[in-house]
Protein backbone atom coordinates (compact mmCIF):
# COMPACT_ATOMS: atom_id res chain seq x y z
CA UNK A 1 0.00 0.00 0.00
CA UNK A 2 1.24 3.50 -0.87
CA UNK A 3 2.08 5.64 2.16
CA UNK A 4 1.01 9.19 3.01
CA UNK A 5 4.70 10.17 2.89
CA UNK A 6 4.90 8.86 -0.67
CA UNK A 7 1.70 10.72 -1.68
CA UNK A 8 2.92 13.94 -0.06
CA UNK A 9 5.79 14.10 -2.57
CA UNK A 10 3.27 14.93 -5.30
CA UNK A 11 2.26 18.10 -3.44
CA UNK A 12 5.01 20.67 -3.93
CA UNK A 13 3.36 23.26 -1.69
CA UNK A 14 3.59 20.88 1.27
CA UNK A 15 7.19 20.00 0.53
CA UNK A 16 8.32 23.57 0.02
CA UNK A 17 6.56 25.12 3.00
CA UNK A 18 7.27 22.41 5.56
CA UNK A 19 3.76 22.92 6.81
CA UNK A 20 1.40 20.58 8.65
CA UNK A 21 -1.61 21.33 6.48
CA UNK A 22 -4.68 20.31 8.45
CA UNK A 23 -7.30 22.37 6.63
CA UNK A 24 -8.20 20.16 3.67
CA UNK A 25 -11.85 20.38 4.71
CA UNK A 26 -11.66 24.02 3.63
CA UNK A 27 -9.70 23.27 0.48
CA UNK A 28 -7.29 20.49 -0.41
CA UNK A 29 -3.84 20.99 -1.85
CA UNK A 30 -3.29 19.96 -5.49
CA UNK A 31 -0.88 17.29 -6.73
CA UNK A 32 1.47 18.07 -9.58
CA UNK A 33 -0.38 15.61 -11.84
CA UNK A 34 -3.53 17.77 -11.66
CA UNK A 35 -1.64 21.01 -12.21
CA UNK A 36 0.17 19.48 -15.18
CA UNK A 37 -3.11 18.33 -16.73
CA UNK A 38 -4.51 21.86 -16.46
CA UNK A 39 -1.34 23.36 -17.88
CA UNK A 40 -1.35 20.85 -20.74
CA UNK A 41 -4.92 21.79 -21.61
CA UNK A 42 -4.06 25.48 -21.78
CA UNK A 43 -0.90 24.79 -23.76
CA UNK A 44 -2.42 22.42 -26.29
CA UNK A 45 -6.21 22.50 -26.46
CA UNK A 46 -7.61 25.78 -25.15
CA UNK A 47 -10.34 27.70 -26.97
CA UNK A 48 -13.97 28.52 -26.26
CA UNK A 49 -15.84 25.20 -26.31
CA UNK A 50 -18.97 24.68 -28.47
CA UNK A 51 -18.54 28.02 -30.26
CA UNK A 52 -15.69 27.82 -32.73
CA UNK A 53 -15.68 25.94 -36.02
CA UNK A 54 -11.94 25.44 -35.87
CA UNK A 55 -9.84 22.58 -34.53
CA UNK A 56 -8.84 24.13 -31.20
CA UNK A 57 -12.41 24.91 -30.25
CA UNK A 58 -13.36 21.35 -31.12
CA UNK A 59 -10.55 20.03 -28.95
CA UNK A 60 -11.74 22.19 -26.04
CA UNK A 61 -15.29 20.90 -26.57
CA UNK A 62 -14.06 17.32 -26.63
CA UNK A 63 -11.92 17.69 -23.52
CA UNK A 64 -14.81 19.31 -21.66
CA UNK A 65 -17.18 16.52 -22.69
CA UNK A 66 -14.64 13.91 -21.69
CA UNK A 67 -14.28 15.51 -18.25
CA UNK A 68 -18.06 15.31 -17.81
CA UNK A 69 -17.99 11.62 -18.68
CA UNK A 70 -15.21 11.00 -16.17
CA UNK A 71 -17.29 12.67 -13.43
CA UNK A 72 -20.44 10.79 -14.46
CA UNK A 73 -18.63 7.46 -14.29
CA UNK A 74 -16.96 8.42 -10.99
CA UNK A 75 -20.32 8.94 -9.25
CA UNK A 76 -22.07 6.26 -11.34
CA UNK A 77 -24.60 8.62 -12.91
CA UNK A 78 -26.87 6.89 -15.41
CA UNK A 79 -26.39 9.61 -18.06
CA UNK A 80 -23.47 12.02 -18.44
CA UNK A 81 -25.91 14.93 -19.00
CA UNK A 82 -27.02 14.46 -15.39
CA UNK A 83 -23.70 16.07 -14.47
CA UNK A 84 -23.81 19.87 -14.53
CA UNK A 85 -20.60 21.77 -13.94
CA UNK A 86 -20.88 24.66 -11.48
CA UNK A 87 -18.46 26.96 -9.70
CA UNK A 88 -18.67 24.94 -6.47
CA UNK A 89 -21.12 23.11 -4.21
CA UNK A 90 -22.63 26.40 -3.01
CA UNK A 91 -23.59 27.41 -6.53
CA UNK A 92 -25.03 23.94 -7.14
CA UNK A 93 -27.18 24.21 -4.00
CA UNK A 94 -28.38 27.66 -5.02
CA UNK A 95 -29.26 26.28 -8.43
CA UNK A 96 -31.44 23.61 -6.82
CA UNK A 97 -33.05 26.08 -4.41
CA UNK A 98 -33.89 28.57 -7.16
CA UNK A 99 -34.72 26.28 -10.06
CA UNK A 100 -36.42 23.49 -8.12
CA UNK A 101 -37.24 24.89 -4.66
CA UNK A 102 -38.82 28.21 -5.55
CA UNK A 103 -40.78 26.61 -8.41
CA UNK A 104 -42.14 23.60 -6.53
CA UNK A 105 -42.48 24.51 -2.86
CA UNK A 106 -45.94 25.75 -1.92
CA UNK A 107 -47.44 27.41 1.12
CA UNK A 108 -47.21 25.22 4.26
CA UNK A 109 -44.93 22.68 2.58
CA UNK A 110 -41.96 21.64 4.67
CA UNK A 111 -38.26 21.52 3.90
CA UNK A 112 -36.25 19.39 6.31
CA UNK A 113 -32.54 19.94 6.92
CA UNK A 114 -30.22 19.04 9.80
CA UNK A 115 -28.72 21.31 12.46
CA UNK A 116 -25.26 20.41 11.15
CA UNK A 117 -25.73 22.01 7.73
CA UNK A 118 -23.15 24.33 6.23
CA UNK A 119 -24.67 27.79 5.57
CA UNK A 120 -24.68 26.95 1.85
CA UNK A 121 -27.23 24.16 2.47
CA UNK A 122 -29.24 26.32 4.87
CA UNK A 123 -29.48 29.96 3.79
CA UNK A 124 -30.85 29.14 0.28
CA UNK A 125 -33.63 27.07 1.89
CA UNK A 126 -34.46 29.93 4.26
CA UNK A 127 -35.03 32.06 1.19
CA UNK A 128 -37.27 29.44 -0.42
CA UNK A 129 -39.50 28.98 2.64
CA UNK A 130 -39.74 32.72 3.29
CA UNK A 131 -40.64 33.54 -0.28
CA UNK A 132 -43.16 30.71 -0.67
CA UNK A 133 -44.69 30.67 2.82
CA UNK A 134 -43.32 27.23 3.63
CA UNK A 135 -41.58 25.89 6.77
CA UNK A 136 -37.95 24.98 7.49
CA UNK A 137 -37.61 22.10 9.96
CA UNK A 138 -34.43 20.84 11.60
CA UNK A 139 -33.25 17.36 12.52
CA UNK A 140 -31.14 17.68 15.69
CA UNK A 141 -28.13 15.67 16.81
CA UNK A 142 -27.90 13.37 19.84
CA UNK A 143 -25.14 13.35 22.45
CA UNK A 144 -22.89 11.43 20.04
CA UNK A 145 -23.25 14.23 17.47
CA UNK A 146 -25.29 11.91 15.24
CA UNK A 147 -28.82 11.93 13.86
CA UNK A 148 -31.03 9.25 15.43
CA UNK A 149 -33.29 7.30 13.12
CA UNK A 150 -36.27 8.28 15.33
CA UNK A 151 -35.36 11.95 14.94
CA UNK A 152 -35.16 11.54 11.16
CA UNK A 153 -38.47 9.70 11.01
CA UNK A 154 -40.23 12.22 13.24
CA UNK A 155 -39.19 15.21 11.12
CA UNK A 156 -39.72 13.80 7.61
CA UNK A 157 -43.48 13.53 7.11
CA UNK A 158 -46.09 13.68 4.35
CA UNK A 159 -45.75 17.48 4.46
CA UNK A 160 -42.05 17.28 3.60
CA UNK A 161 -41.24 18.15 0.01
CA UNK A 162 -37.44 18.49 0.18
CA UNK A 163 -34.90 16.90 2.49
CA UNK A 164 -31.52 18.62 2.16
CA UNK A 165 -28.80 16.92 4.14
CA UNK A 166 -25.05 16.94 4.38
CA UNK A 167 -23.44 13.55 3.91
CA UNK A 168 -20.50 14.40 6.19
CA UNK A 169 -20.57 17.31 8.66
CA UNK A 170 -17.76 19.81 8.08
CA UNK A 171 -17.61 20.51 11.83
CA UNK A 172 -18.22 17.11 13.44
CA UNK A 173 -17.12 14.68 10.76
CA UNK A 174 -20.33 12.74 11.38
CA UNK A 175 -21.32 10.56 8.43
CA UNK A 176 -25.08 10.75 8.03
CA UNK A 177 -27.09 7.69 6.89
CA UNK A 178 -27.77 9.25 3.53
CA UNK A 179 -29.24 6.13 1.94
CA UNK A 180 -31.69 5.62 4.82
CA UNK A 181 -32.66 9.28 4.75
CA UNK A 182 -33.29 9.11 0.98
CA UNK A 183 -35.48 6.04 1.49
CA UNK A 184 -37.54 7.70 4.23
CA UNK A 185 -37.85 10.89 2.19
CA UNK A 186 -39.04 9.00 -0.88
CA UNK A 187 -41.57 7.01 1.16
CA UNK A 188 -43.04 10.38 2.15
CA UNK A 189 -42.97 11.75 -1.39
CA UNK A 190 -40.09 14.19 -0.82
CA UNK A 191 -36.98 14.64 -2.92
CA UNK A 192 -33.47 14.47 -1.45
CA UNK A 193 -30.58 16.87 -1.87
CA UNK A 194 -27.27 15.43 -0.67
CA UNK A 195 -24.44 17.85 0.09
CA UNK A 196 -21.46 15.59 -0.51
CA UNK A 197 -18.76 18.28 -0.43
CA UNK A 198 -17.11 16.65 2.61
CA UNK A 199 -17.69 13.03 1.59
CA UNK A 200 -16.75 12.76 -2.11
CA UNK A 201 -13.04 13.43 -1.42
CA UNK A 202 -12.92 10.53 1.04
CA UNK A 203 -15.29 7.76 -0.05
CA UNK A 204 -16.84 6.18 -3.12
CA UNK A 205 -20.20 7.80 -3.86
CA UNK A 206 -22.67 5.94 -6.06
CA UNK A 207 -25.56 8.28 -6.79
CA UNK A 208 -27.79 5.44 -7.99
CA UNK A 209 -27.09 3.40 -4.89
CA UNK A 210 -27.80 6.21 -2.41
CA UNK A 211 -30.70 7.22 -4.64
CA UNK A 212 -30.46 10.95 -3.90
CA UNK A 213 -32.30 13.17 -6.37
CA UNK A 214 -29.57 15.79 -6.30
CA UNK A 215 -25.94 15.47 -5.23
CA UNK A 216 -23.51 18.37 -5.04
CA UNK A 217 -19.78 18.64 -4.40
CA UNK A 218 -16.80 20.94 -4.96
CA UNK A 219 -13.71 20.01 -6.92
CA UNK A 220 -11.32 22.05 -4.83
CA UNK A 221 -11.83 19.87 -1.74
CA UNK A 222 -10.80 16.77 -3.73
CA UNK A 223 -7.47 17.84 -5.28
CA UNK A 224 -8.96 19.77 -8.23
CA UNK A 225 -8.38 23.49 -8.87
CA UNK A 226 -10.58 26.17 -7.30
CA UNK A 227 -13.69 27.20 -9.21
CA UNK A 228 -15.12 23.90 -10.42
CA UNK A 229 -18.00 22.06 -8.78
CA UNK A 230 -20.64 19.51 -9.67
CA UNK A 231 -24.38 19.28 -9.55
CA UNK A 232 -25.78 15.82 -10.21
CA UNK A 233 -29.51 15.61 -10.71
CA UNK A 234 -31.84 12.88 -11.88
CA UNK A 235 -32.47 13.49 -15.56
CA UNK A 236 -36.24 13.79 -15.32
CA UNK A 237 -36.00 16.39 -12.55
CA UNK A 238 -33.38 18.45 -14.35
CA UNK A 239 -35.37 18.37 -17.60
CA UNK A 240 -38.41 19.80 -15.88
CA UNK A 241 -36.53 22.57 -14.11
CA UNK A 242 -36.21 26.18 -15.21
CA UNK A 243 -32.70 27.51 -15.91
CA UNK A 244 -30.80 29.20 -13.09
CA UNK A 245 -28.46 31.57 -14.92
CA UNK A 246 -29.38 32.89 -18.35
CA UNK A 247 -26.91 33.73 -21.06
CA UNK A 248 -24.84 32.41 -23.88
CA UNK A 249 -24.93 28.80 -25.01
CA UNK A 250 -27.79 27.72 -22.75
CA UNK A 251 -30.42 28.62 -25.35
CA UNK A 252 -32.01 27.01 -28.37
CA UNK A 253 -33.77 29.94 -30.09
CA UNK A 254 -33.82 33.53 -28.93
CA UNK A 255 -36.42 35.91 -30.32
CA UNK A 256 -36.96 39.51 -29.32
CA UNK A 257 -39.44 38.58 -26.60
CA UNK A 258 -39.10 34.81 -26.17
CA UNK A 259 -36.41 32.18 -25.68
CA UNK A 260 -36.36 28.42 -25.77
CA UNK A 261 -33.64 26.67 -23.85
CA UNK A 262 -30.98 24.16 -24.76
CA UNK A 263 -30.99 20.50 -23.79
CA UNK A 264 -29.24 19.12 -20.73
CA UNK A 265 -26.61 19.76 -19.56
CA UNK A 266 -26.21 23.04 -21.48
CA UNK A 267 -29.45 24.49 -20.10
CA UNK A 268 -27.69 24.95 -16.76
CA UNK A 269 -24.31 26.08 -18.06
CA UNK A 270 -24.66 29.66 -19.22
CA UNK A 271 -21.63 31.55 -20.45
CA UNK A 272 -18.15 30.31 -21.17
CA UNK A 273 -17.43 27.42 -18.87
CA UNK A 274 -14.41 26.58 -16.74
CA UNK A 275 -12.98 23.93 -19.06
CA UNK A 276 -9.55 24.04 -17.41
CA UNK A 277 -11.24 23.43 -14.05
CA UNK A 278 -13.26 20.51 -15.43
CA UNK A 279 -10.09 18.95 -16.83
CA UNK A 280 -8.39 19.47 -13.47
CA UNK A 281 -11.31 17.75 -11.78
CA UNK A 282 -11.16 14.80 -14.18
CA UNK A 283 -7.44 14.55 -13.49
CA UNK A 284 -8.04 14.69 -9.72
CA UNK A 285 -10.56 11.86 -10.04
CA UNK A 286 -8.00 9.83 -11.96
CA UNK A 287 -5.43 10.53 -9.23
CA UNK A 288 -7.81 9.41 -6.47
CA UNK A 289 -8.90 6.32 -8.40
CA UNK A 290 -5.28 5.35 -9.00
CA UNK A 291 -4.74 5.29 -5.24
CA UNK A 292 -8.16 3.68 -4.78
CA UNK A 293 -10.80 4.50 -2.20
CA UNK A 294 -10.01 1.40 -0.14
CA UNK A 295 -6.46 2.65 0.30
CA UNK A 296 -7.65 6.22 0.90
CA UNK A 297 -9.95 4.93 3.62
CA UNK A 298 -7.12 2.97 5.26
CA UNK A 299 -4.70 5.92 5.11
CA UNK A 300 -7.24 8.32 6.55
CA UNK A 301 -8.43 5.92 9.20
CA UNK A 302 -4.85 5.46 10.35
CA UNK A 303 -4.09 9.17 10.61
CA UNK A 304 -7.44 10.14 12.17
CA UNK A 305 -7.19 7.35 14.76
CA UNK A 306 -3.64 8.45 15.60
CA UNK A 307 -4.79 12.06 15.97
CA UNK A 308 -7.67 11.02 18.24
CA UNK A 309 -5.32 8.95 20.37
CA UNK A 310 -2.74 11.74 20.73
CA UNK A 311 -5.36 14.43 21.44
CA UNK A 312 -7.00 12.24 24.07
CA UNK A 313 -3.71 12.29 25.99
CA UNK A 314 -4.02 16.07 26.46
CA UNK A 315 -6.44 16.45 29.37
CA UNK A 316 -7.04 20.14 28.59
CA UNK A 317 -8.31 19.42 25.08
CA UNK A 318 -12.03 18.98 24.48
CA UNK A 319 -13.07 17.20 21.26
CA UNK A 320 -16.38 16.94 19.42
CA UNK A 321 -16.84 13.73 17.44
CA UNK A 322 -18.88 10.58 17.65
CA UNK A 323 -17.38 7.59 19.48
CA UNK A 324 -18.72 5.39 16.68
CA UNK A 325 -15.68 5.13 14.46
CA UNK A 326 -17.64 3.85 11.46
CA UNK A 327 -19.78 7.03 11.47
CA UNK A 328 -16.87 9.46 11.54
CA UNK A 329 -14.71 10.86 8.76
CA UNK A 330 -11.62 13.10 8.47
CA UNK A 331 -12.73 16.04 10.69
CA UNK A 332 -11.75 16.68 14.32
CA UNK A 333 -13.11 19.78 16.03
CA UNK A 334 -11.61 20.68 19.39
CA UNK A 335 -11.01 23.39 21.96
CA UNK A 336 -8.54 24.07 24.74
CA UNK A 337 -10.48 25.17 27.81
CA UNK A 338 -9.87 28.86 28.44
CA UNK A 339 -8.16 29.54 25.10
CA UNK A 340 -10.14 31.12 22.31
CA UNK A 341 -9.93 29.18 19.00
CA UNK A 342 -8.56 32.20 17.12
CA UNK A 343 -5.68 32.60 19.55
CA UNK A 344 -5.01 28.90 19.27
CA UNK A 345 -4.98 29.09 15.47
CA UNK A 346 -2.49 31.98 15.60
CA UNK A 347 -0.20 30.09 17.97
CA UNK A 348 -0.44 26.92 15.84
CA UNK A 349 0.37 29.01 12.76
CA UNK A 350 3.57 30.13 14.47
CA UNK A 351 4.41 26.38 14.72
CA UNK A 352 3.67 25.92 10.98
CA UNK A 353 0.41 24.09 11.64
CA UNK A 354 -2.56 25.23 9.54
CA UNK A 355 -5.96 24.61 11.08
CA UNK A 356 -9.26 26.44 10.85
CA UNK A 357 -10.88 28.30 13.75
CA UNK A 358 -14.34 29.81 14.00
CA UNK A 359 -17.90 28.74 13.24
CA UNK A 360 -16.98 26.91 10.01
CA UNK A 361 -19.98 28.38 8.20
CA UNK A 362 -22.26 26.45 10.54
CA UNK A 363 -23.46 29.03 13.08
CA UNK A 364 -26.71 27.26 14.02
CA UNK A 365 -24.74 24.11 14.91
CA UNK A 366 -22.15 25.99 16.99
CA UNK A 367 -24.97 27.81 18.80
CA UNK A 368 -26.80 24.49 19.37
CA UNK A 369 -23.61 23.01 20.86
CA UNK A 370 -23.43 26.08 23.14
CA UNK A 371 -19.79 26.90 22.43
CA UNK A 372 -18.38 30.14 20.94
CA UNK A 373 -16.38 28.45 18.17
CA UNK A 374 -14.10 25.50 17.56
CA UNK A 375 -10.68 24.74 16.17
CA UNK A 376 -10.87 22.22 13.39
CA UNK A 377 -8.23 19.89 12.02
CA UNK A 378 -9.19 18.10 8.81
CA UNK A 379 -7.14 15.27 7.39
CA UNK A 380 -6.47 14.01 3.90
CA UNK A 381 -4.36 11.45 2.06
CA UNK A 382 -1.12 13.44 2.37
CA UNK A 383 -1.22 13.95 6.13
CA UNK A 384 1.39 12.08 8.12
CA UNK A 385 1.91 11.25 11.79
CA UNK A 386 4.50 14.04 11.85
CA UNK A 387 1.70 16.49 11.03
CA UNK A 388 -0.26 15.25 14.04
CA UNK A 389 2.86 15.45 16.24
CA UNK A 390 3.37 19.06 15.17
CA UNK A 391 -0.25 19.81 16.04
CA UNK A 392 0.16 18.27 19.49
CA UNK A 393 3.38 20.22 20.12
CA UNK A 394 1.61 23.43 19.10
CA UNK A 395 -1.27 22.70 21.45
CA UNK A 396 1.14 22.15 24.31
CA UNK A 397 2.82 25.45 23.55
CA UNK A 398 -0.53 27.27 23.50
CA UNK A 399 -1.64 25.66 26.74
CA UNK A 400 1.62 26.61 28.46
CA UNK A 401 1.30 30.20 27.24
CA UNK A 402 -2.25 30.58 28.51
CA UNK A 403 -2.41 28.35 31.58
CA UNK A 404 -0.10 30.52 33.67
CA UNK A 405 -2.64 33.35 33.40
CA UNK A 406 -5.62 31.25 34.52
CA UNK A 407 -5.89 32.25 38.18
Partner 1 sequence: MSDLNDVYNDLIMEHSMNSYNKRKIENADKTEKGHNPSCGDEIELQLKMDGNIIEDIAFTGQGCAISQSSTSIMSDVLRGKTIQEAKEIVKTFIDMIKRETTDEKQLEKLEDAIAFKNIAYMPARVKCALLAWHTIEKML
* Catalytic residue annotation: 361
| Residue 318 makes contact with partner 1 by CB under 8 A | no
Part in contact with partner 1 (CB under 8 A); list of ranges 36-44, 131-139, 225-233, 349-357? 349-357
Does residue 253 belong to the site contacting partner 1 (CB under 8 A)? no
What minimum distance in Å lies between the beta carbon of 405 and partner 1?
4
Contact flag: residue 389 with partner 1 (CB under 8 A): no
**Given 207, 347, 377, 391, the residue binding partner 1 (CB under 8 A):** 347
Would you say the C-alpha torsion 322, 324, 326, 330 has a positive or negative sign?
Answer: positive
Which of the ranges 21-29, 44-52, 86-94, 342-350 carries the binding residues for partner 1, by CB under 8 A? 342-350
State how beta strands 214-218 and 191-195 pair: parallel
Q: Which ranges of 45-177 would DSSP assign to H, the alpha helix?
A: 55-74, 89-96, 102-104, 123-132, 149-155
DSSP string, 235-271: HHHHHHSPPSS--TTSEEEE-SS-EEEPPTTGGG--S
Size of the site for partner 1 (CB under 8 A): 20
> What does R_g of the chain's alpha carbons equal in angstroms?
22
Among 54, 253, 255, 405, binds partner 1 (CB under 8 A): 405
Residue of 83, 113, 207, 373 interacting with partner 1 (CB under 8 A)? 373
Interface with partner 1, residue 211, by CB under 8 A: no
Q: Is 385 in the site for partner 1 (CB under 8 A)?
A: no
Query: Using the rule CB under 8 A, which residue among 359, 368, 392, 396 binds partner 1?
Result: 359
Contact 180, 135 (CB under 8 A): no
Q: Which of 3, 1, 11, 5 is CA-nearest to residue 33?
A: 11
Report the alpha-carbon distance of residue 265 to residue 280 in Å, rounded: 19
Residue 338 interacts with partner 1 (CB under 8 A): yes or no: yes
Q: Does 308 bind partner 1 (CB under 8 A)?
A: no
Q: Does 37 bind partner 1 (CB under 8 A)?
A: no
Do 120 and 97 contact (CB within 8 A), yes or no? no
> Residue 292 gets which letter from DSSP?
-
Q: Which residue in the set 108, 342, 386, 400 belongs to the binding site for partner 1 (CB under 8 A)?
A: 342
CA 371, CA 334: separation in Å to the nearest integer?
11
Note the residues at the interface with partner 1 (CB under 8 A): 338-343, 346-347, 349-350, 357-359, 372-373, 401-402, 405-407
Amino acid sequence: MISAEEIKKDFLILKDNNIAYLDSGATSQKPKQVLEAVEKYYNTANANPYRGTYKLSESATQEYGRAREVVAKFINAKYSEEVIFTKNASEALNLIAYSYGLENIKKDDEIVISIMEHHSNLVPWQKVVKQNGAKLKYMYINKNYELDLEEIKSKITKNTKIVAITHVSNVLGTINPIKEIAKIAHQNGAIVVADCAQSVPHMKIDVQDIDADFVVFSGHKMLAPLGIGVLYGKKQLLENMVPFIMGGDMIEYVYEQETTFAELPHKFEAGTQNVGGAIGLASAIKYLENIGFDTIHKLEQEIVEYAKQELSKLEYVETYYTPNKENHCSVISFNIKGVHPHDLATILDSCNVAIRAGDHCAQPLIRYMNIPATCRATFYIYNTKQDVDKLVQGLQKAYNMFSKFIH
